[in-house]
Amino acid sequence: MEKRRLGRTDLFVSSLCLGTMTFGEQNTEAEGHAQLDAALAHGINLFDAAELYPIPPKPETQGRTEEILGNWMKARGNRASVVIATKAVGRTGNTWFREGGVPGRLTHAQLTEAVDKSLRRLQTDYIDLYQLHWPDREVTCFGSNPTIWENPAQAADETPIEETLSALAGLVAAGKIRHIGLSNESPWGTMRYLAAAERVGLPRVASIQNAYSLVNRTFEGGLAEIALREDVGLLAYSVLGQGYLTGKYRNGALPAGARKTLFDRLSRYEKPGAAEAIDAYLDLAEEVGISPAQLAIAFAQSRAFTTSVILGATSLGQLEHDLGALDVTIDAELEARINGLFQRHGSPCP
């Protein structure tokens, strides 16, 4: 497993990362531990969680994923050998994350509370990479990189980026977090964080966790150059289009236990033009004799701006299959064919 430097830090992380958002909902604790064991055995050292998880978010299960991850580290005694990433919620009207039932914001008080709670659930005294799950400002769409701009109104109580970064600096100084990252952020937001860090001498963001896949290459429009020139590498999530790029939902199929079957909340991958684009990539994979899932993962992993690709699985079989992407090479001919499809279909699933 290739190890890649996380931003400008001294951390080197595996080119594949295990995402854990199904732990505590679709996966039991025992199943989650089995996945973590298997990932570690294959050389994965980066594990990604969030205070929001598991998905779908609800107050009854919130934080359970971090608890499962924490129990695993305690049982295995391996905290020093793994890199733990987790996230704080951004602006949200949901009131179950904070004491007093207040809406979520990226303020000093709320970030301090969020970190302390995550540390307790993870049963550790430090978090390697602490990420802002999404911005504390109104944006056009979740993910902050739309293909259609909708003029979101600025919230009256928007937390300034400098205030959020200052709060994170305090948590770094206290030793509670080592490095910071962004998620679902735009080029503008990313550069504002970098500029503020340079101007005031605050911690520098090391990574950005955004959606990136064959049907969502919006990252390339502005963030790719930032990632390369500013050393803010992509932690790519949803590279399988929440399962659509595996082919399991093709022709309206609803497999038992699949996320769409259970929760029907995959609207990002059901927009106009999405089905045609997805079918085109599935056809290409079949034509070149590569599993569609492995093709999608290998493509994301091969990008120069990618630090790590986050894998999400609900079974050991899925995880083992996804790990097979390490044996897939995106050569010049295959990349040209992928880019040809992209020219025709674009990014229908931002």
Instruction: Catalogue the active-site residues.
Output: 53
CA distance 316 to 293: 15
Question: Of 227, 232, 134, 225, which is closest to residue 179 (Cα–Cα)?
Answer: 232
Q: Containing H/E element for 182?
A: strand 177-183
Question: Of 131, 284, 263, which is closest to residue 215 (Cα–Cα)?
Answer: 284
Burial pattern 92-127, b for ≥16 Cβ within 10 A else e, equals: beeeebbeeeeebbbbbebbebbbebbbebbebebb
CA distance 31 to 24: 10
CA distance 287 to 324: 18
CA distance 235 to 210: 7
Question: Of 177, 169, 292, 303, which is closest to residue 234 (Cα–Cα)?
Answer: 303
DSSP state of 297: H
User: What is the chain's Cα-based Rg?
Assistant: 19
